[in-house]
Chain A
Amino acid sequence: GAGVSQSPSNKVTEKGKDVELRCDPISGHTALYWYRQSLGQGLEFLIYFQGNSAPDKSGLPSDRFSAERTGGSVSTLTIQRTQQEDSAVYLCASSPRTVSSYNEQFFGPGTRLTVL
């Protein structure tokens, strides 16, 4: 079946511009996560959506970062006024949140963002 998809796969932008990154989770998965992976670093949690609950935004590094999840499915991560330190691979994951797969996450291929 289809996995988690993300678009674009690569994005090059100029400092100060806004960017939108898209994530299509696996159909039926209620939980959706965004992470950031910088060169040589681990995964940094950004935001978590679970069903209709208020999202956990505790990992967003600044107010330039925001995310939405429309209709409980597709999610968009927006970075306003991009800075060079925002350059990273942005990963999306979804989870079915069933008892047998509790919190097991399925990752997308990521979007590599380069801010010039």
Chain B
Amino acid sequence: AQSVSQHNHHVILSEAASLELGCNYSYGGTVNLFWYVQYPGQHLQLLLKYFSGDPLVKGIKGFEAEFIKSKFSFNLRKPSVQWSDTAEYFCAVNRASSASKIIFGSGTRLSIRP
């Protein structure tokens, strides 16, 4: 069965620090990969997605993620975080080209100190 692991449950950073949140999945086939963000009191919203092509994908608000197939990873990065990045971040995976459910990781809570 597919699973998604986010090993960092809570990350605390100061403003301007660099960010990397880990995401690993277990599925050997072709996958679609997503990062979603949930700001306090708001809906979940898509941050970025990878379907095919360039494994380095750019998302909103300066976020990017790199798909490394050999490592089954899709880590999220941002070079310089802001206080407004305080949120919960979810990695998600599903099998490409199939009408299948999306599996979410357990989430990483990011707290930014002003």
Contact = CB atoms under 8 A, between A and B. Distances in A.
Interface residues of B, number: 23
Interface residues of A, number: 26
A65 interface: no
A104 B100 contact: no
B106 A42 contact: yes
B43 interface: yes
Nearest to B42: A109
Interface string B40-59: 00011110010100000000
Contact of A107 (B44, B103, B107): B44
A45 B101 contact: yes
A62 interface: no
Contact of B51 (A48, A53, A102): A102
A108 interface: yes
Interface string B59-81: 00000000000000000000000
Contacts of B49: 104
21 contacts: A3-B43, A31-B99, A33-B101, A42-B6, A42-B90, A42-B105, A45-B104, A50-B99, A53-B99, A56-B101, A58-B101, A93-B44, A97-B99, A102-B32, A103-B94, A104-B46, A105-B46, A106-B46, A107-B43, A107-B44, A108-B43
